[in-house]
A and B are shown apart, each in its own frame.
Chain A
């Protein structure tokens, strides 16, 4: 009598997670469509801005929103879903199954990777169709985007899992993730360029991963001379990698110390 393999169960969890995510109206609207709708709106408002070096406002925003989008499909998605699942009995039911906990998290990884890739494709498609974004042809730019994607969704997923433990019920889950997410979009140079922010606000934003992820995606997707528009006058990709990696480590520690299968309120 052999037990089903952890990998097979992880794949089955991934399939079930994806079905649930894309069928649930609130996750599709708030997690998946939200960044795209914002890009369409904000991009349309600022696309007429004076073009700097042949690059329009919509193009810069597309690059920054690529970062914001995968923060949504990792941090907001996991933070909200886990709080709901802890509250509605999902986690309790799963914990009682002959399922290795690793399989559960493999399923979440599948969900986050697939949803984030789809989100990225959607945002880039909006950029190409509405704001004349030229996708880079240089493989090096895509390699940069790839490691930013991997580090970004890892850090933000771990932070999302940790944030879910702060929510006391499913109803407060949205507030625990959407509020910090929206604030970070403002202070991280996603909605508005970093130079126009008050100094203290940019300094606070620089503590969090969104600022660095957005800067990284601008480096990957915009022409090199646009680096002059960054506050540091360069892309700082080395610093981006270090800070995202530090958030991965910090997020992992927070997850391991805060994750609970059961709600503290239910018996």
Chain B
């Protein structure tokens, strides 16, 4: 399962004169969960839509499950699961009807009742989508994305609008799918979500991948933030700095705080946004 499932080189896509994706390179290995992090308008959704054969591209090479998505056929599509950004359709149907209907499109679907239970909607199975809350409707989207038993699952900002409890349950679901060997490509602008779910993270800004790797690889260990009442400094030798400060204050350093570099620091640096700005 360690073969490359997604390979992208020099992907380009413009809307009018605006380049949404501008020379993007990306590799996703079989069985891994990759989170694509980036601000709004960075090109996350456009990339996902091109890879999942929902949108054409202007340039570059793309191979998904060994196929060019621009030449997607039914068999190719049956190997994908897609949770797009929210839609307002299917409102007159019940949860059970919708999930069962969508299972019918796939050659070897998962059990619809089990999928409904996994997304935590067993109690709402007989209710129409119209009667569900926004978060519950989003969970239906997730159910429809996984009911086909996909090898590769695209999750485009899947937990927007979830309450914390629903997010945790959704994370558990994604983890169990990943544990079963499903390759997951997740876009999000929640750093904690990327950290909780992803084996690797790719940071995207301005239509390009700025960096990718594990959290440990992205975070620059040399940038430990030391702050105290009268100042702040970033250093790769925090212990020495604290010792120096102790000497200067002759004892306790007022308001001392030493913080390991976080994913947020790395993210803000990579997307060109200033921390605290």
A residues neighboring B (CB under 8 Å): 1-4, 8-9, 12, 16, 19-20, 23-24, 85, 88-90, 92-93, 95-100, 267
Q: A24-B92, A267-B46 are in contact. Are A99 and B74 (CB under 8 A)?
A: yes
16 residue pairs bridging A and B, Cβ less than 8 Å apart? A4-B106, A12-B101, A19-B92, A19-B93, A88-B89, A89-B86, A92-B84, A92-B87, A93-B144, A96-B52, A96-B54, A97-B77, A98-B106, A100-B74, A267-B15, A267-B45
- CA–CA, A9 and B49, complex, Å: 24
Q: In the assembly, what is the distance between CA of A9 and CA of B74, in Å?
A: 13
In the assembled complex, which residues on chain B have CB atoms less than 8 Å from the CB atom of A90? 87, 89-90
The distance from the CB of A45 to the nearest CB of chain B, in whole angstroms, is: 35
Q: Closest B-chain residue to A1, C-beta based? A: B107
- Chain B residues near A12: list those with CB within 8 A: 101, 104
Query: What mask results when residues 73 to 97 of chain B are scored 1 for a CB within 8 Å of chain A, else 0?
Result: 0111110101010111110110001
- Contact present for A99 and B87 (CB under 8 Å): no
Give the residues in chain B near A3, CB-CB below 8 Å: 74-75, 78, 107
Residues of B within 8 A of A97 (CB): 77, 102, 105
Q: Which residues from chain A contact B90 at a C-beta distance below 8 Å?
A: 20, 90
B46, A98: Cβ atoms closer than 8 Å: no
Taking CB atoms, residues of chain B closer than 8 Å to A8 are: 104
Q: In the docked arrangement, what's the CA distance between A98 and B87, Å?
A: 18
Which residues of the other chain, A, contact B84 by a CB distance below 8 angstroms? Answer: 89, 92-93, 96
A88 to B108, CA, bound (A): 28
Interface residues of B in 1-58 (CB under 8 A from A): 15, 20, 45-46, 49, 52-55
Does B53 contact A96, Cβ atoms closer than 8 Å? yes
Which residues from chain A contact B92 at a C-beta distance below 8 Å?
Answer: 19-20, 23-24
Q: Which of A89, A98, A267 has the most CB of B within 10 A?
A: A98
B93 near A98: Cβ-Cβ < 8 Å: no
**Taking the nearest CB of chain A, how far is it from the CB of B121, in angstroms?**
18
C-alpha gap A4/B81 in the complex (Å): 17
With a cutoff of 8 Å between Cβ atoms, the chain B residues found around residue A99 in the complex are 74, 105
Do A19 and B97 touch (CB < 8 A)?
yes
Which chain B residues numbered 161 to 209 have a C-beta less than 8 Å away from chain A?
A: none
Residue in chain A with minimal CB distance to B148: A98
Partner of B88, one of A24, A88, A96: A88
Beta-carbon nearest neighbor of A103 in chain B:
B105
> What residues of A have a CB within 8 angstroms of the CB of B101 in the complex?
12, 16
Tell me the count of chain B residues lying within 8 A, CB to CB, of chain A.
35
Contact between chains at A88 and B87 (CB < 8 Å): yes
Complex partner residue of A4 from B89, B97, B104, CB under 8 angstroms: B104
A95 touches B54 (CB 8 A): yes
Smallest Cβ-Cβ distance to A85: which chain B residue: B89
Q: Report B75 CB to chain A, min CB distance, Å.
A: 7
B209 to chain A, nearest CB (A): 20
Q: A98-B74, A99-B74 are in contact. Are A9 and B105 (CB under 8 A)?
A: yes
Among all A-B residue pairs, the 8 with the closest Cβ atoms: A89-B87, A98-B78, A90-B89, A23-B92, A98-B77, A98-B74, A88-B88, A1-B107
Apart from the given pairs A8-B104, A89-B86, 7 other A-B contacts in the complex at a CB distance below 8 Å:
A4-B105, A90-B87, A90-B89, A92-B84, A93-B144, A95-B54, A98-B77
Measured between C-beta atoms, what is the minimum distance from B223 to chain A in Å?
36
Asked if A1 and B108 sit within 8 Å, CB to CB, the answer is yes
For A92, the chain B residues whose CB sits under 8 A away are: 54, 84, 87
- B239 → A minimal CB distance (Å): 50
Nearest B residue (CB) for A91: B89
Chain A residues closer than 8 Å to B76, beta-carbon distance: 98
Q: How far is the CB of B112 from chain A (nearest CB, A)?
A: 13
Cα–Cα, bound, A97→B108 (Å) = 14
- List A contacts of B93 (CB < 8 A): 16, 19-20, 23
* Docked complex Cα distance between A174 and B226 (Å): 63
Decide if B46 touches A89 in the complex (CB within 8 Å): no
> In the complex, what's the smallest C-beta–C-beta distance from B42 to chain A, in angstroms?
13
Could you tell me the distance in whole angstroms from the C-beta of A28 to the nearest C-beta in chain B?
A: 11
Cross-chain contact A96 with B104 (CB below 8 angstroms):
no
User: Which of B20, B77, B106 is A96 in contact with, Cβ under 8 Å?
Assistant: B77
What is the bound-complex CA distance between A31 and B117, given in angstroms?
37
Nearest CB in chain B: distance from A210 CB, A = 29
What residues on A are CB-neighbors of B15 within 8 Å? Answer: 267
> Closest residue to B141 on the A side, CB-wise?
A93
A8 to B103, CA, bound (A): 13
Taken together as a complex, chains A and B put the C-alpha atoms of A173 and B181 apart, in Å, by 44
C-alpha gap A267/B20 in the complex (Å):
11
Q: Which of A2, A16, A19, A95 contacts B107 (CB 8 A)?
A: A2
Query: Which B residue's beta carbon lies closest to that of A16?
Result: B101
Distance in Å from the Cβ of B171 to the closest Cβ of chain A? 24
